A and B are shown apart, each in its own frame.
Chain A
Amino acid sequence: MITHQPYHLTLNGKKIQITDESPNLTLLQYLRQNGHIGSKEGCAEGDCGACTVAIVERNAKGEPCYRAVNSCIMLLPMLAGREIITSEGLACHESLHPVQQAMVANHGSQCGYCTPGFVMSLFEAYYRKDLKQQWQINDQLCGNLCRCTGYRPIRDAAVEALTGRFKNGVTDPFAEKLECVKNESQLAPGQYAPTSEQFFLRPSSLKELLQMIHEFPDARLIAGGTELGVDIAKNFKYHPYLISTEAVAELKTITSTKQEWHIGAAATLTQIEETLQGEIPSIQKMLTVFASRQIRNRATLGGNLVNASPIGDMAPVLLTLDARLVVASLDGEREIPIDQFFLAYRKTALEPREILKSIIIPRQLPGRANSFKVSKRMELDISTVAAAFRVELDDAAKVKTVRLGYGGVAATPVRAKKTEQFLLNKAWNRETLTEAMAIIKDEFTPITDARGTADYRRELIPSLLEKFFDEEEFSINHNAITPIPVPATRPIPHESGHKHVAGTAVYVDDAAEPAGMLEVWPVCSPYAHARIIKRDAHLAKQMPDIVTVLMAEDVPGENDVGAVRHDEILLADKEVFYHGHLVALVVGKSQEACRAAAAKFKWNTNL
């Protein structure tokens, strides 16, 4: 039995009650619709960082901290009982926050659209006591895209702000805030069900969670939501029944014995990074190219594994470390070795109503290990091929243990067991390697997709093994942040610089979205060239909240938007000339309604 409980969240110090918003509404949608227009949407899939805000969280030690997150893929009920800070909330009276000041002083903004997001990533950095090294600045900012300024002035701003912090005697309301909430209780449980056809449940114990899963088999589990959030915000999928793992302490904790790490399946990647502190270099190396800081602040290791994507970043690494997975249901717990967990494409050994509880990773494994990720960008990208390796030699320098883990080469993350078998008891030298490379090249039959051709992948498989053979083990470059000399004079700041950093610069949509105007959804041609045989809008017009549907006949003047020559037909009537050519525009009271009506235009191909 679910009882609807409205919840509270705190936005820039102001407490707000949420009573009837959809559990699928994203934080960014909520912010912008309610006039908090500082946070921008650039992609709606957690890739560009223009929507970045900070939330008050707990670090791996349980201390309060700020975490930068992508508000575009965070669902509003995830914020229940939480505190959110946006770029508009940083400036105190007229004075900018040090990270904002540094951005203005270093010309860190040009068009300013990405700036509020950068400012919030810098804000998290400013209060991170563990951020002392140069590489961490790039790591901190890799989840924010800038298209005009370039990254150097922004990094200069980061260096200036970070090297000038923690000064004695300077009161900082945001540092004080973290002190204030030190003794506050952890995330509260809750039941949010604004209608009888939707809910967002947040149980507070494993037992309660398992009971809920049993009671509501149609509900989706949601941890960090970095995958499900994209499904909702980008693919417009509706997930009415959600059960959150965030308040289940048993799933969040990371503990250790001398021999093993026990990582709660819902522990975030950032918490894991903070706790392991580079102890297992092949994990640490993969974490540095694993999505972005914002994503790692939310994404969980369990989510990465149960998602069972063939290119999941951490699976190949854990395959080489002989990790074990503890799964739980109301019937009890059982352990599955990770190489028996991935059964088929996106299918795991989890039974219905069974969840991944924790991941056991052995410590101090002998031998050497490394991991590699090949992708088009270094950070925030999906791998073309990922690989991890571990080799232990015996006293005679022969291979005693070998693990070769790959992602992106088969339907699941997989070990190259045939090649492992070949390598066992062989001398670990160039000759063996050459033979192994020939074997491993034919061990998998990778596919061609947007990230790489089958041939390219087939070449990568042996060459990554060779790279492992030749390269040193990964270690962090511990160089401290190098301060930049403060210039004697500075150029005149950008006229709108202070507004960019404070999130108060108004762009076209910032005036429109909170104003509640009529919305539209385009109906586009799926063909690059086609003759239109029939256009019929009457089904779309009958949909709820639709005001009108525009087609070629509705253009009062000339149906053309060509800039110089009049050769660009706006709404196609007889023929479409490019993929995406507009044929109709649905106008209605919400984008959701317009999108639903636009779906009523079915494509019938007369072939």
Chain B
Amino acid sequence: MEYEPLEPVIDLKKAIAQNLFHTDPHVMERGDAEKALSNSPHTLVGDFHFGGQEHFYLETHTAWAEPGEDGAMLISSSTQHPSEIQIVVARVLGVSRHKVVCQSPRMGGGFGGKETQGNTPAALAAIAARKTGKRVRVRFNREQDMILSGKRHPFYAQFKIGFDNEVNC
């Protein structure tokens, strides 16, 4: 392996300054907030941030795959979202979704950390099982799980509040 290290952006404020967003803005709105704010006798502006978190499910990410006939694949996954595992495995294998069966017997904890992050071990098991024609187990140990899986990411929020002089209890 040869790498040329590049500058990583691992700070939210830096990412915003460089206009590096993961997705298009997600907007929820009702009424005319700008107008209401400009008509408010008082406004309060501020920001806050909180750090990322590891979900720390006791059972680390695990999946195994068993190849079947005509491109079928059976996946057993410790996931909170079996139907998404089905979709993603079908996508990485390049087969129709009906060829993929995903079962999740039970989980040793998830806490949100197994909603999307189970995709990687399940996809790896499936690709390896397809290539070798054998059953494959992918179980991340604690260190791999911490390194490889995404987390509850950090947040940075800015707010502006408008309010008047009246007390309504």
Using CB atoms and an 8 Å cutoff, list the residues of chain A in contact with chain B.
40-45, 48, 50, 111-114, 145-148, 234, 496, 505-509, 511-513, 515, 517-520, 522-536, 547-548, 550, 554-561, 563, 565, 567-568, 570, 575-576, 579-580, 582-583, 585, 587, 601-607
Contact A531 B106 (CB under 8 A): no
Contact A556 to B93, CB < 8 A, known contacts A496-B106, A563-B119: yes
- Chain B minimum-CB-distance residue to A563: B116
Contact B58 A517 (CB under 8 A): no
CA distance A556 to B95 in the complex (A): 9
Q: Which of A507, A575, A580 contacts B108 (CB 8 A)?
A: A507
Contact A530 B3 (CB under 8 A): yes
Stretch of B45-53, B142-150, B156-164 on the interface side: B142-150
9 cross-chain pairs, A with B, having the tightest CB-CB distances, nearest first? A557-B94, A113-B108, A528-B8, A580-B147, A529-B8, A533-B2, A534-B2, A563-B116, A561-B119
Say how far B152's CB is from chain A's closest CB, in angstroms.
Answer: 14
Contact A518 B132 (CB under 8 A): yes
Q: Is B92 an interface residue (CB 8 A)?
A: yes
Q: Which of B8, B128, B139, B148 contacts A550 (CB 8 A)?
A: B128
Q: Is B86 an interface residue (CB 8 A)?
A: no
Q: Could you give, for residues 6-33 of chain B, a 1 whenever the CB lies within 8 Å of some chain A CB and a 0 otherwise?
A: 1111100000000000110000000000
Excluding A518-B137, A603-B3, 19 further A-B contacts by CB distance (< 8 Å) are: A42-B108, A45-B142, A50-B58, A146-B58, A507-B106, A527-B3, A529-B5, A529-B9, A532-B1, A532-B2, A532-B3, A534-B2, A550-B128, A556-B94, A565-B23, A567-B23, A570-B123, A601-B1, A607-B5
Q: Which of A40, A561, A565, A567 contacts B59 (CB 8 A)?
A: A40
Contact B95 A557 (CB under 8 A): yes
CA distance A506 to B115 in the complex (A): 20
Q: Which of A508, A525, A550, A559 contacts B3 (CB 8 A)?
A: A525
Contact A520 to B137, CB < 8 A, known contacts A507-B78, A555-B127: yes
Say how far B103's CB is from chain A's closest CB, in angstroms.
Answer: 9
Q: Could you give, for residues 102-143 of chain B, a 1 whenever the CB lies within 8 Å of some chain A CB and a 0 otherwise?
A: 001111111100011001100111011111101111111111
CA distance A550 to B91 in the complex (A): 17
CA distance A5 to B67 in the complex (A): 42
Contact B138 A111 (CB under 8 A): no
Contact B142 A550 (CB under 8 A): no
CA distance A607 to B2 in the complex (A): 10
Residues of A within 8 A of B60 (CB): 42
Contact B4 A520 (CB under 8 A): no
Say how far B163's CB is from chain A's closest CB, in angstroms.
Answer: 36
Q: Which of A43, A114, A533, A535 contacts B142 (CB 8 A)?
A: A43
User: Most chain-A Cβ atoms within 10 A of its Cβ — which of B5, B22, B131?
Assistant: B5
9 contacts between A and B (CB under 8 A): A111-B57, A508-B63, A547-B132, A556-B94, A575-B6, A587-B128, A604-B3, A605-B3, A607-B4
Residues of B within 8 A of A519 (CB): 136-137
Contact A530 B4 (CB under 8 A): yes
- Chain B minimum-CB-distance residue to A113: B108
Contact A505 to B124, CB < 8 A, known contacts A527-B8, A587-B132, A605-B2: no
Contact A530 to B5, CB < 8 A, known contacts A507-B59, A518-B134: yes
Residues of A within 8 A of B56 (CB): 147
Contact A508 B77 (CB under 8 A): yes
Say how far A261's CB is from chain B's closest CB, in angstroms.
Answer: 38
Contact A520 B3 (CB under 8 A): no
Main secondary structure on A side of the interface with B: loop
CA distance A533 to B2 in the complex (A): 5
Say how far B21's CB is from chain A's closest CB, in angstroms.
Answer: 11
- Chain B minimum-CB-distance residue to A600: B1
Say how far A115's CB is from chain B's closest CB, in angstroms.
Answer: 10
CA distance A601 to B78 in the complex (A): 29
Say how far B73's CB is from chain A's closest CB, in angstroms.
Answer: 11
- Chain A minimum-CB-distance residue to B95: A557
Residues of B within 8 A of A527 (CB): 3, 5-6, 8
Residues of A within 8 A of B84 (CB): 563
Say how far B99's CB is from chain A's closest CB, in angstroms.
Answer: 11
Contact B92 A518 (CB under 8 A): no
Contact B4 A518 (CB under 8 A): no
Say how far B96's CB is from chain A's closest CB, in angstroms.
Answer: 11
Contact B1 A604 (CB under 8 A): yes
Contact A512 B64 (CB under 8 A): yes
Contact A523 B1 (CB under 8 A): yes
Residues of A within 8 A of B105 (CB): 506-508, 511
Residues of A within 8 A of B1 (CB): 523, 532, 534-536, 583, 601-604
Residues of A within 8 A of B3 (CB): 525-527, 530-533, 576, 603-606
CA distance A496 to B105 in the complex (A): 12
CA distance A348 to B107 in the complex (A): 46
Contact A520 to B108, CB < 8 A, known contacts A43-B142, A528-B10: no
Contact A580 B2 (CB under 8 A): no
Say how far B14's CB is from chain A's closest CB, in angstroms.
Answer: 12
User: Most chain-B Cβ atoms within 10 A of its Cβ — which of A532, A550, A563, A585?
Assistant: A563
Say how far A557's CB is from chain B's closest CB, in angstroms.
Answer: 3
Contact A570 B108 (CB under 8 A): no
CA distance A524 to B142 in the complex (A): 15
Q: Could you give, for residues 48-85 of chain B, a 1 whenever the CB lies within 8 Å of some chain A CB and a 0 otherwise?
A: 00000000111110111000000000001110010010
Q: Which of B9, B124, B135, B142 contacts A42 (CB 8 A)?
A: B142
Contact B8 A512 (CB under 8 A): no
CA distance A148 to B59 in the complex (A): 12
Contact B137 A513 (CB under 8 A): yes
Residues of B within 8 A of A536 (CB): 1
CA distance A606 to B63 in the complex (A): 35
Contact A582 B120 (CB under 8 A): yes
Contact A550 B58 (CB under 8 A): no
Residues of B within 8 A of A532 (CB): 1-3
Residues of B within 8 A of A517 (CB): 64, 134-137
Q: Is B101 an interface residue (CB 8 A)?
A: no
Contact A512 B76 (CB under 8 A): yes
Residues of A within 8 A of B134 (CB): 517-518, 547
CA distance A537 to B167 in the complex (A): 70
Q: Which of B92, B124, B137, B144 contacts A557 (CB 8 A)?
A: B92
Q: Which of B7, B104, B106, B138 contacts A520 (CB 8 A)?
A: B138
Contact B4 A606 (CB under 8 A): yes
